[in-house]
């Protein structure tokens, strides 16, 4: 029992809370011709500060009014995707006497949710709901259905904008997610598990803010999630998280779960971030982001002691890009950044999201500690070069994105925590994209990979070399020998 609890605590899976079927990006030139729509909401909810709830019945009626007003603006998004599937991925290694192992085309169907934010048919949803879909159908609360067009997608925040050809729609007003408080009541609305459960409503509270969980783009995305205990399940992705004023404060995106269903830990992209991305996609066809030009890291207790700090709050500047806004402002390697525009920095992921979601040309004031002394540094942000960002990504990050999972060396400490046999060699899966080919073939977080294509691997570098060698082949297929909960098995998937 102890072993089971420990193992499952280590492999708690962050699950994208919808069918992860994907669509092709629209041409940015086409996207840029759209004029900015009117995002004024049409729902009529009495503001919470104007409502009294002296009795249980009054509280109940207030909640019912909020749900009834919001539901018409939440839609079901159905997608169809054509995929190539190898019927027997093991045949390349163990032979197939029938010789029918050529990849076959198959049609997949997926389902998620969306939120109408303008009367003329603009809809906010998640990137992972519509990515790579061939067809998109949007079902309204009144039973009407429309073809959907992707106006733009942003994988870095998991936000997408879909447009339907309709007018005079019910639209949710967009609230200010910066004003959301931990503990306030919220509702989640969407289509969990299937369209037969469309417009399901659940209630909870905001459990936490500014969560970075490393689920978007293998940890390379921009995350500042609202966390809620309102029930969110597969199919809720892209749905609405609303406050007691009936305003949209988040786009439901993911859950943390051991079971695959709601465990009371859900995550939503804050409405301010979603709205900023949406406007950029409509105006520019892509997302314009600001750049500071540093690489940093979180501060743990050991580093805090080494730097003479009295807390772990803030980040440390590891390196500074040449001729970047950071360099021009006078920031230095080793500076400890504690605040941005007077707001405390919780972690590096939160900090880089704050920078990236600012506008190029904005001035930000950083509160730093250098050589034990506090000081202020003002920086004029530049524009992030997406190609430059891709070129400086670390090899492991690029490999993680291509494979859909990340591995680390199997250290003695990890082996002890997983209660593995002494002397076992390999690499451990520490993060995996649930929509990846490897995950669909059964690879899990916490699995130990001991061989790649029948060749032993004892370190990340050996694993990387083996995968790179396969990548040079035509239509490469990876065969892994893994250990899951003490059981040896094979996992095969296409790169």
Catalytic residue numbers read 128, 158, 237
Q: If you compute the radius of gyration of the chain from its CA atoms, what whole number of angstroms results?
A: 24
Cβ partners under 8 Å of residue 495, min gap 6: 402, 403, 437, 467, 470, 471, 476, 477, 478
Closest CA to 156 of 297, 259, 288, 61: 288
Find the Cα–Cα–Cα–Cα dihedral 130, 136, 139, 140, rounded to 10°: 70
Q: Which of 115, 109, 30 is nearest to 70 (CA)?
A: 115
208/180 Cα distance (integer angstroms) = 10
CA distance 225 to 159: 12
| CA 206 to each of CA 180, 289, 350, 461: distance values in angstroms, whole numbers, following the listed order | 8, 28, 18, 42
Distance between CA atoms of residues 428 and 447, nearest Å: 6
Burial class (CB in 10 A: 0-12, 13-18, 19+), 389: middle
> In Å, how far are 49, 319, 411, 422 from 417, measured between CA atoms?
50, 33, 10, 12
- Which tokens is 468 given? 């790179």
Give the CB-side neighbour count of residue 231, counting CA atoms within 13 A. 10
CA pair distance 218, 432, nearest whole angstrom: 8
């Amino acid at each position: 029992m102890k072993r089971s609890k420990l193992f499952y605590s280590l492999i708690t899976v962050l699950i994208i809370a919808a069918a992860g079927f994907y669509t092709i990006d629209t041409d940015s030139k086409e996207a840029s011709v759209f004029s900015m729509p009117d995002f004024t909401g049409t729902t009529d909810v009495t503001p919470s500060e104007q409502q009294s709830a002296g009795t249980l019945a009054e509280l109940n009626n207030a909640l019912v009014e909020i749900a009834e007003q919001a539901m018409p603006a939440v839609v079901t998004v159905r997608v169809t995707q054509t995929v190539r599937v190898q019927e027997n991925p093991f045949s390349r290694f163990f032979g197939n006497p029938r010789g029918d192992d050529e990849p076959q085309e198959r049609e997949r169907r997926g389902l998620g949710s969306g939120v109408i934010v303008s009367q003329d048919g603009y809809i906010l949803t998640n990137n992972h709901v519509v990515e790579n879909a061939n067809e998109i159908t949007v079902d309204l609360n009144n039973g009407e259905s429309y073809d959907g067009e992707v106006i733009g997608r942003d994988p870095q925040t998991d936000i997408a904008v879909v447009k339907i050809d309709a007018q005079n729609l019910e639209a949710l007003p967009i609230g200010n997610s910066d004003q959301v408080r931990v503990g306030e009541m919220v509702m989640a609305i969407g289509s969990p598990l299937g369209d037969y459960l469309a417009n399901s409503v659940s209630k909870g509270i905001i459990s936490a803010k500014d969560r970075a969980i490393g689920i978007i783009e293998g940890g390379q995305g921009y995350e500042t999630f609202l966390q809620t205990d309102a029930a969110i399940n597969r199919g809720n992705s892209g749905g609405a998280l609303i406050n007691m004023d009936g305003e949209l404060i988040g786009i439901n995106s993911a859950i943390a779960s051991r079971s695959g269903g709601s465990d009371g830990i859900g995550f939503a992209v804050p409405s301010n971030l979603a709205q900023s991305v949406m406007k950029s996609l409509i105006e520019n066809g892509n997302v314009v982001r600001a750049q500071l030009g540093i690489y940093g890291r979180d501060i743990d207790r050991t580093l805090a002691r080494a730097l003479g700090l009295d807390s772990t709050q803030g980040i440390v500047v590891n390196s500074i890009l040449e001729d970047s806004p950071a360099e021009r402002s006078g920031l230095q390697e080793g500076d400890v950044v504690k605040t941005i525009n007077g707001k405390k920095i919780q972690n590096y992921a939160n900090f880089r999201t704050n920078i990236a979601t600012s506008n190029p040309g904005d001035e930000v004031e950083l509160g730093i500690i250098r050589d034990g002394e506090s000081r202020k540094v003002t920086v004029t942000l530049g524009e992030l070069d997406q190609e430059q960002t891709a070129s400086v990504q670390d090899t492991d990050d690029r490999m993680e994105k291509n494979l859909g999972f990340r591995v680390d060396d199997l250290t003695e400490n990890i082996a002890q925590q997983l209660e593995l046999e002494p002397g076992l060699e390999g690499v451990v899966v520490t993060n995996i994209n649930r929509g990846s080919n490897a995950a669909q073939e059964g690879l899990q977080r916490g699995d130990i990979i001991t061989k790649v294509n029948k060749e032993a691997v004892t370190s990340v570098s050996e694993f990387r070399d083996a995968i790179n060698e396969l990548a040079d082949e035509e239509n490469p297929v990876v065969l892994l020998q893994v250990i899951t909960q003490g059981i040896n098995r094979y996992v095969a998937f296409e790169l």
